[in-house]
Structures are given as C-alpha cells and as structure tokens.
Amino acid sequence: MNDTHTKNSNKTDNTEDWPLELSLAIVRLSTAFFLMIWALDKIIGTGAAQKTFSKYYMNVDESFVIILIGIAQLILILTFAGGLFKTFTYGIIMLMHTGSVLASIPRYMDPLARPNILFWAAIPVLGAMILLFILRERDRFLTIGR
C-alpha cells in the first residue's frame, strides 16, 4: 500500500483497486439499507417488532426497550454505512446478523414452506457481511474513516 492510501483513504491511485473498492461500497451500503429497515421497524412498528423479538430472541414486555434497541442498531448501522471503526462496526454488524440467522435455523430446515423461503435471503447477506469484514481494509470508497 502506498503513502497516498495512508494519507487519504477515499482516494484510489491504483486503477486496479477501483472495481474492488466500488464493489465493497455497493455491498456495504446495500447491506446498511437492508438492516436499516429492521432497525426502523423497531422504532416505528414497535408492536410487531416486539412480537418478532420475543419469538426469536427473548421475551420483551416493554416497547421502550425495543425502541432503544432500534435506536442503538440505527446508530451502529449508520456508523457502518460510513465505514467508521471498521473492525468494530463490521464485526458487530456481522455478529448481529449471524445471531438472526442462528435464531432462524428451524425455518431453514423446511425451506420450501411458506414463509420459510423468505428467510433464505439472510444467507447471502451473511456471506456479504463476512466478505466485508475480511476485506474491511480494502473498503475505502465512500467512507468517512480509514
């Protein structure tokens, strides 16, 4: 890596890196939008989110707890979208989604039953998150942080 990358992480001097950096930015931003819907649902659609959370994770009786979780997730997702604190944010995002996938394992056992087929969309998203975590230092396009 040359000195220009160290000084300005948003600039790419090597045109060979451009397709990779653009691809990683697309994966990061589309993943952020995907997760943002779930965070906003906790803040706006508290009742439905509370039922889902109680069914797959743990029983939560207070809607304000779901709202706080949604706000925390939203802050994390926005930080992730900006490419800040990559090891932390990319790692937590990946672990958070891994938890969702693991919580849904029974749904994967009968993949063609409705609505179980929809749960399979989480698998390539998890793969994309693992990819982003592995290549986080190469993800420099449209980031605020290094």
Q: Which pLDDT belongs to residue 61?
A: 66
Q: Which pLDDT belongs to residue 8?
A: 44
End-to-end CA separation in angstroms for the chain? 13
Selection from 55, 49, 97 nearest residue 76 by Cα: 97
Do 64 and 58 contact (CB within 8 A), yes or no? no
The per-residue pLDDT string of the chain (146 residues; one tens digit each, 9 = 90 and over) reads: 443 444 444 555 567 899 999 999 999 999 999 999 989 988 998 776 666 666 666 666 677 888 898 999 999 999 999 999 999 999 999 999 999 999 889 888 988 888 888 889 999 999 999 999 999 999 999 999 66
Residue 11: both structure tokens together: 């600039």
Threshold 0.75, pTM exceeds: yes
Q: Which pLDDT belongs to residue 126?
A: 96
Selection from 130, 135, 122, 124 nearest residue 24 by Cα: 135
DSSP code per residue over 106-123: HHHTSTTSTTHHHHTTHH
